[in-house]
Chain A
Amino acid sequence: MAHHGKGKPPRVGDNKIFRAVLLTIVLLLVGLMIVAPLVVIGVEAFSKGIVYFGQSIADPDTRHAILLTVITALIAVPINTAFGVAAAWAITKHDFWGKRLLTVIIEIPFSVSPIVAGVSYLFVYGLQGLFGHALQAAEIKILFALPGIVLASMFVTAPFVARELIPLMQAQGRDLEEAATSLGASGWRTFFSVTLPNIKWALLYGVVLCNSRVMGEFGAVSVVSGNIRGQTNTLPLHIELLYHDYNAAGSFAAASILAGLAIVTLIAKVALERQGAGRVQRPSALAGADSITPEVKP
């Protein structure tokens, strides 16, 4: 790389004009598509002053929407985390028939529009649906209530944790678990003292992504929640409702809460990525696979 003489033509991508054009395009698009809308949220939320912002947030319906969103996340995220760990564990450390199919199925929520998930839940749990009458007879309310919202959110976010873990656990192989077991550790002990510490950053990363998606999910939830103000409105749905009420400032105020959650998520994500990078000192996930780190002589 040091031999970049003056007379020689630049390597691919080294051309100054090319670089300038590329950077301009990228920065322009980032500004227009990502930064500008976020700035607008902040500006509009406070367009009628801080007092109005406070009032908008303090509105009982908005407060209820925030609460509902948090409750949904508190239920859906742990369940999906447990599911993700179990699925990744099963897929990477065990052999069974249909393993590939399972891997594909887990990814389905990524490729299916959330609204499709919502509609399909209607058909399964709705009055005209498969279990509709049975559920009504048992007086269990799933649709247009918290269970429906949680289920729809879980469907959409099912792959997040598993997807973070599977590649990592595949790369780690089974050696560490086999070593722990041969040393006399039980299954639980092996999981908690060997497997978990080696996947914890990826796991947290998956949880953070899963959480932000649960809190922000609109499409699937909007179908199954019924949009009952103060009862089944989650924060994203509430924002839309306020907007349709021509309450732009209120809608933006609520949106700023959601955006705030997103920023917290982002900070957590960056912090976690730092930790991931930190693993070079607290050596890599692949203890055996040689010499990612240079040899240190005593």
Chain B
Amino acid sequence: MKIRLDNVVKEFETFRAVHGVSLDIESGELVALLGPSGSGKTTILRMVAGLEYADAGAIYFGTENATDIPVRDRGVGFVFQHYALFPHMTVGENIAFGMKVSKVKRSPQAIAERVKELLDLVQLSGLKDRFPGQISGGQRQRVALARALAVDPRVLLLDEPFGALDANVRRDLRRWLRKIHDELGITTLFVTHDQEEALDLADRVVILNKGRIVQEGTPEAVCRNPADAFVMNFLGDANRLDADIRGGKAYVEDIAFDADGIADGGGEILFRPADVTWREDGQGIAAKIVRVIDRPDSRRVLAMTGNGQPVEFDTAPEFPHRKGEAGFLQIRRPRVYAAA
């Protein structure tokens, strides 16, 4: 099912709000809504589900205008951040719930069979008679997914699906969700504030800030071509230096970088800590080492440029230099933006 959001607006008394978001999600696509807290990503998801109504704009499921269809009839599978499993029902009863209350009548045998099928799908066959409180967080999340899939939803929506889990459980579940999605081919939209999760899982990433889409594209596109300094920062560690832009060049402490097509005036360059080389031969921006931090597979160096701007960069564990030594920073793949 293709989903289209057309200029959707939602106002709250509090800070959460969505300002005119338009978005197309192709049938069978797995899309991540990525943004910091308060960026409106969960509100968008809840509007697609029908758990919130849009103040303006429209939401289409295929060609049908779903904007005013109540959640009950919208045919979405929603997975909540804290699972929202019914604590007084067993795992099997939780999964069967949607089929039991459905307007489409199913025989008890048909329901039992479907429950078994879904338990196999989420690899929890032995846990049918357990209660949610008796299983682990990762298992609960899989039950929540099975329950959402039981009603054959047109769209699967997940709100921070792995937010409440341990890091390694999270990674396993991520890969597993991708596998399930590839098997079922159901259009899926999920919300996360974790860029690694979004890049790992999604076909396409939609990055939000303050209730607006700032960039959307494949993980490759957003990683290689961040649209602005916010995206660059949000996707990972980044250094930022003030720059002067004059005639298509960005000058940082007398070192010039390409800045084609950016108007003269104030600007900034951003670059990843891995894209810095420490040199002693005078090429690059003059800097002094402030601190060296050891990590299992690398060394993180904190340095200060000639005019007092901090820069962090990663080096091999064998990096021989120490606090107080002076040298030069050679920057690869810098990204130049006009000052915000």
Partners in one complex: yes
> Cβ of A43 < 8 Å from any Cβ of B?
no
Among candidates B86, B101, B124, B136, residue contacting A287 with C-beta atoms closer than 8 Å = B86
Q: Number of contact residues on B: which range applies?
A: 35 or more
Which stretch from B72-80, B174-182, B278-286 is at the chain A interface? B72-80
Q: Are A175 and B82 in contact (CB under 8 A)?
A: yes
> Cβ of B103 < 8 Å from any Cβ of A?
yes
Cβ < 8 Å to A, chain B residues 143-167? 147-148, 150-151, 164
Cβ < 8 Å to B, chain A residues 156-194? 175-176, 178-186, 189, 193-194
Give a binary string over B86-106; 1 marks a CB under 8 Å from any A CB, 0 the rest: 111000000001100111000
Q: Are B72 and A186 in contact (CB under 8 A)?
A: yes
Give a binary string over B279-311; 1 marks a CB under 8 Å from any A CB, 0 the rest: 000000000000000000000000000000000
Residue in A closest to B101 when the chains form the complex, CB atoms? A185
Q: What chain A residues lie within 8 Å of B80 (beta carbons)?
A: 175, 178-179, 288
Which stretch from B53-61, B126-134, B183-191, B331-339 is at the chain A interface? B126-134
Residue in A closest to B75 when the chains form the complex, CB atoms? A184
Q: Are B86 and A178 in contact (CB under 8 A)?
A: no
Chain A residues touching B, majority SS: loop
Q: Are A285 and B72 in contact (CB under 8 A)?
A: no
Q: Report the Cα distance A220→B78, complex, angstroms.
A: 51
Q: What chain B residues lie within 8 Å of A292 (beta carbons)?
A: 133
Q: Report the Cα distance A293→B139, complex, angstroms.
A: 14
Q: What chain B residues lie within 8 Å of A4 (beta carbons)?
A: none
> Cβ of B137 < 8 Å from any Cβ of A?
yes
Q: Report the Cα distance A112→B149, complex, angstroms.
A: 53
Separation in Å of the A291 CB from the closest CB of chain B? 7
> Cβ of A129 < 8 Å from any Cβ of B?
no
Separation in Å of the B321 CB from the closest CB of chain A? 45
Given known contacts A287-B87, A288-B80, A298-B126, A184 and B132 CB-to-CB distance under 8 angstroms: no
> Cβ of A289 < 8 Å from any Cβ of B?
yes
Residue in B closest to A179 when the chains form the complex, CB atoms? B84
Q: Are A179 and B164 in contact (CB under 8 A)?
A: no
> Cβ of A197 < 8 Å from any Cβ of B?
yes
Among candidates B71, B126, B136, B151, residue contacting A295 with C-beta atoms closer than 8 Å = B136
Q: Are B88 and A197 in contact (CB under 8 A)?
A: yes
> Cβ of A245 < 8 Å from any Cβ of B?
no
Separation in Å of the A168 CB from the closest CB of chain B? 12
Q: Report the Cα distance A287→B86, complex, angstroms.
A: 7
Q: Report the Cα distance A297→B138, complex, angstroms.
A: 11
Among candidates A182, A197, A280, A283, residue contacting B132 with C-beta atoms closer than 8 Å = A283
Given known contacts A283-B132, A284-B133, A298-B127, A194 and B86 CB-to-CB distance under 8 angstroms: yes
> Cβ of A282 < 8 Å from any Cβ of B?
yes
Q: Are B101 and A288 in contact (CB under 8 A)?
A: no
Query: Besides A288-B83, A293-B134, 5 other CB < 8 A contacts?
Result: A178-B71, A178-B84, A182-B76, A280-B133, A283-B134
3 closest cross-chain pairs (CB), A and B: A283-B133, A288-B82, A183-B98
Q: Name 10 interchain pairs, CB-CB below 8 A, sorted by A.
A: A178-B51, A179-B78, A179-B86, A181-B72, A183-B101, A198-B88, A286-B82, A288-B82, A288-B140, A290-B137
List residues of B whose CB falls within 8 A of some A CB.
Answer: 49-51, 71-74, 76-78, 80-88, 97-98, 101-103, 124, 126-127, 130-137, 139-140, 147-148, 150-151, 164
